[in-house]
Amino acid sequence: MTSLGTMAERVGKNGAIAGALAAIVAAAALAFFLAGRGSDAAARSALTVNLPPAASDRIYASAVAAGRPIVVIDAGHGGRDPGATSVSGQVHEKDLTLVLAQALRDELVKRGRVRVAMTRADDRYLTLEDRAAVARRLDAAMFVSIHIDSAANPLARGASVYSLSDVASDAEAERLAAREDDRPAGGPSSGAVDAMLADLAMQSQMGSSADLASRLVAKASGRVELRPNPHRFAAFHVLRRADAPAVLFEAGYLSNADDELLLRNPEERAKMVMALAQAIEADVAAHARH
Ligand code: ZN
């Protein structure tokens, strides 16, 4: 707009057609301004310039938990990324993942066996790398990402747990990982993935992630609505980059009316939170014994 304005002034000094030209330039500038206002991309790039660091390293802990292992809880999606929308259209994945994460944090802090960090404690947008970086900076013992699934089949329901793997357990798991990672299914998941997965540290991370997922399924069985074969495997970017045992808990299906009711019910969510808290503590205890 500045350059257009300057051009109008310069033309204005030169003669009789200046008025007409200036009017055309002003109209063009106005159109440019209006188009800019309607563009999300322009609004986003203008907004991201002065924001403080996206993710928080704040640690939540009771006094008795000093020095205990740190568990990072990652509430999926947030801010301009709402995730899945419920079948009723009334709730978004990002809101339910946040209330689940907050309830899990509060339960773990109350029980006092671990310290807790959250990638987000409010409604904000974070990249997957922002999220994983919290676990690396805090040298976390564990990374638990909370999501809620959605499927074309309205009858699909129940919770599942995904652990980090170099090979997806099934086509659906691969599609889910691609969707959460925002990449094409079956395509390369990121840069030097194959080299990383060949790494021994990665093999160990995959093994301990699978242990954590098994404990979670065991604690949830009989208390939480689970899918058939609830422990699945996929190459989630956010899990790989956490550099810690890491699982992605899909708390159910927002595309299923029964699951939506369950997930919107605080008492039902409390059962899920208890299963998660107990599995996390059992995992930490198992590692402490080695
Ligand atoms: Zn999700």
pLDDT 10s per residue in the chain (290 long)? 433 333 333 433 444 444 444 555 555 554 444 444 444 444 455 555 555 567 888 999 999 999 999 999 999 999 999 999 999 999 999 999 999 999 999 999 999 999 999 999 999 999 999 999 999 999 999 999 999 999 999 999 999 999 988 778 888 888 888 888 877 666 555 445 555 555 777 888 899 999 999 999 999 999 999 999 999 998 888 888 899 999 999 999 999 999 999 999 999 999 999 999 999 999 999 987 76
Task: State whether 89 and 169 are in the same domain.
Answer: yes
Task: State whether 37 and 92 are in the same domain.
Answer: no
CA 93 to ligand 1 center in whole angstroms = 7
- Closest among 284, 279, 258 to 70, alpha carbons compared: 284
CA 134 to ligand 1 center in whole angstroms = 18
DSSP secondary structure of 135-149? HHHTT-SEEEEEEEE
The DSSP call for residue 90 is S
CA 203 to ligand 1 center in whole angstroms = 25
Q: Is residue 110 part of a domain?
A: yes
Task: State whether 137 and 7 are in the same domain.
Answer: no
Structural domain count of the chain: 2
CB contact at 8 A, 134 and 91: no
Task: State whether 36 and 80 are in the same domain.
Answer: no
As given in the structure block, the two tokens for residue 247 are 């699982």
Whether the model clears a pTM of 0.75, i.e. scores above it, the answer is yes
CA 288 to ligand 1 center in whole angstroms = 31
* Residue 270 lies in domain: 59-289
CATH of the domain at 228: 3.40.630.40
CB contact at 8 A, 168 and 177: yes
3-state DSSP assignment of residue 94 = helix
**Residues within 5 Å of ion ligand 1, judged at the Cβ atom:** 76, 83, 147
Task: State whether 192 and 218 are in the same domain.
Answer: yes
Pairwise CA distance, residues 132 & 284, whole Å: 19
As given in the structure block, the two tokens for residue 199 are 């790494």
Q: Is residue 54 part of a domain?
A: no
DSSP secondary structure of 165-191? -SS-SSHHHHHHHHHHHTS-TTS--ST
